[in-house]
A and B are shown apart, each in its own frame.
Chain A
């Protein structure tokens, strides 16, 4: 199977998935206690209308039609980027969400780079020095941080570094006194949330790369490289690591859901104005148009991430291209 056809086949699998997600999302909204007219117009405007006007609007929006017809109407709106009006801010849900994307990108981008850098280094070294003190320390620490709730780590770090030592700001992206945007300020505010995100996300990847490295190091070509008298560094980093990174690549595409799951909680604690905090606030205050908009956009991103990871894996490892795909 050639690459183009594979991409097409893999890509066409995304559509039924999105279809399924849209049906679930629609049913959730349909079961919610919020009136659809209020959802579209905002509470204030809807309260100004007379009952006859409301009935007219309901009819013109198809709310008196059967459920499947309502779904089709809803879907056409969603496909045009119209998720309704946010109850909380009175602005279109999509605009509210878009406003929160930059902050999330900064936090998650930093987290992503740190997770990749740390897990490749620690995973490789841990495997190379298997069963040494270093490896054991790394393993135990990985397990501890893997078992730590991110919100608790965040609170403890805020207590230590912000409240006790006064080194770093407690929350937000800039100090209230700052008039203009300044990069150093942003970075100072970024340290704690990014550290918590990295510490709680990395362990899984460190363990994975370590296992992958151990498997590769047992191969004959590694033995050959050693027998040739190549320096250990070359053997480990040139020969072994490159091959151990192959399965790791797929994993990195899957890191997006992992990171966004962490970001939801961490952004809430640090009052970081990103989509994660938006999701929690909207969920707590029943701002359904924003919640469903986020569900839709985030799942598209996750599915795209998986898709790209598959393609990337295919490009670097031609062996898979010609075998069947597994599901």
Chain B
């Protein structure tokens, strides 16, 4: 794997580690206010400064990482599971089922995911579960498409034909012959969907449609504090954003690296 992918994987592990160890890293509570320390610039005491309510921005970011990453990884898990299942069924069986499910994909793709999410969330209450559900609902189509086209080309390969000729049931072929061979592209798609989900959650929370403010996430920290930019308090918006950019960048590097590594190994597949 290339250097960028390694760097990405290392950084991502670091962020995950920090999120897991959050209570041991922070000296302050992420929602405890202390008006005497309001809007302090970054210092040794407050690494990322404090916000207008005197809350430590570093601790808010660290605890925010828990929420943002938990949402992103859960979304990636769900979209990959659904995408692989739909893709395999569509690619292998074809016909009416394929036609109906792919039209559903077309309908979801007729608007950008962010717009569909905004519209659905307009009907729901903001909250972690709703954000998760909406991001999963809009996110599975990309994986489904990739897996479907893989399954489509795999099903005419000799080893699948041989299994069929030997009378193997469809479920056997799908689980034992197709599934192992679509895992590589599915893994790449899953990695990119982590990146998408981090950005989407941040954007929705920033717009006030995502995770409500009492539960700090990278997006809503920036939403709450953006007015402070006008009076020159830049650190409350700058640092959470840097965390989002660097984490998403790390995930994207990792995804690109996985893509390169897995594509070159295309010759030796599980049969």
Q: Are A and B physically bound partners?
A: yes
Residue among A156, A283, A291 with most chain B CB within 10 A: A283
User: Which size bracket describes the interface of A in this complex?
Assistant: 35 or more
- Closest Cβ of chain B to A155, distance in Å, is 5
| Closest A residue by C-beta to B247 | A147
**Across-interface contacts of B234 in A (CB, < 8 A):** 159
User: For the complex, what is the distance from the CA of A32 to the CA of B125, rounded to whole Å?
Assistant: 12
User: For the complex, what is the distance from the CA of A238 to the CA of B266, rounded to whole Å?
Assistant: 34
- Closest Cβ of chain A to B67, distance in Å, is 16
| Closest B residue by C-beta to A303 | B110
Q: A155-B229, A261-B114, A279-B115 are in contact. Are A149 and B237 (CB under 8 A)?
A: no
Residues of A12-70 at the interface with B, using a CB-CB cut-off of 8 Å, are: 16-17, 20-21, 24, 28, 31-32
**Across-interface contacts of B253 in A (CB, < 8 A):** 143
- Closest Cβ of chain B to A119, distance in Å, is 18
Describe B's contact surface by its main secondary structure: helix
Q: A152-B237, A155-B222, A264-B115 are in contact. Are A302 and B245 (CB under 8 A)?
A: no
**Across-interface contacts of B199 in A (CB, < 8 A):** 147, 149
User: For the complex, what is the distance from the CA of A327 to the CA of B104, rounded to whole Å?
Assistant: 13
**Across-interface contacts of B121 in A (CB, < 8 A):** 283
Flag if A149 contacts B244 (CB, 8 Å): yes
Describe A's contact surface by its main secondary structure: helix
**Any B CB within 8 A of the CB of A124:** no
**Any B CB within 8 A of the CB of A288:** yes
Flag if A155 contacts B123 (CB, 8 Å): no
Flag if B111 contacts A280 (CB, 8 Å): no
Which one of B111, B229, B251 contacts A295 once the chains associate, using CB atoms below 8 Å? B111
Flag if A291 contacts B112 (CB, 8 Å): no
User: For the complex, what is the distance from the CA of A265 to the CA of B104, rounded to whole Å?
Assistant: 26
Residues of A142-166 at the interface with B, using a CB-CB cut-off of 8 Å, are: 143-144, 146-152, 155-156, 158-159, 163
User: For the complex, what is the distance from the CA of A268 to the CA of B249, rounded to whole Å?
Assistant: 25
Flag if A152 contacts B244 (CB, 8 Å): yes
**Any A CB within 8 A of the CB of B248:** yes
Q: A146-B252, A149-B199 are in contact. Are A257 and B111 (CB under 8 A)?
A: yes
Flag if A280 contacts B118 (CB, 8 Å): yes
Which one of A21, A28, A265 contacts B120 once the chains associate, using CB atoms below 8 Å? A28
Q: A163-B230, A283-B119 are in contact. Are A21 and B222 (CB under 8 A)?
A: no
Flag if A20 contacts B245 (CB, 8 Å): no
Number of A-B contacts (CB under 8 A): 119
User: For the complex, what is the distance from the CA of A265 to the CA of B203, rounded to whole Å?
Assistant: 8
**Across-interface contacts of B119 in A (CB, < 8 A):** 28, 279, 283, 291-292, 295
Which one of B102, B110, B118, B202 contacts A264 once the chains associate, using CB atoms below 8 Å? B118
Flag if A288 contacts B249 (CB, 8 Å): no
Residues of A116-151 at the interface with B, using a CB-CB cut-off of 8 Å, are: 143-144, 146-151
Flag if A147 contacts B118 (CB, 8 Å): no
Residue among A155, A264, A282, A295 with most chain B CB within 10 A: A155
Flag if B115 contacts A265 (CB, 8 Å): no
What are 24 residue pairs bridging A and B, where the CB atoms are less than 8 Å apart in the complex? A17-B106, A21-B107, A147-B199, A148-B245, A149-B199, A149-B203, A149-B245, A151-B202, A151-B222, A152-B245, A155-B226, A163-B230, A260-B112, A261-B112, A261-B113, A265-B114, A265-B207, A279-B119, A280-B209, A284-B209, A295-B111, A295-B115, A302-B112, A303-B110
Which A residues fall within an 8 A CB radius of B? Answer: 16-17, 20-21, 24, 28, 31-32, 143-144, 146-152, 155-156, 158-159, 163, 257-258, 260-261, 264-265, 268, 279-280, 282-284, 286, 288, 291-292, 295, 298-299, 302-303, 327
Which B residues fall within an 8 A CB radius of A? Answer: 102-104, 106-107, 110-115, 118-123, 195, 199, 202-203, 206-209, 222, 226, 229-230, 232, 234, 237-238, 241, 244-245, 248-249, 251-253
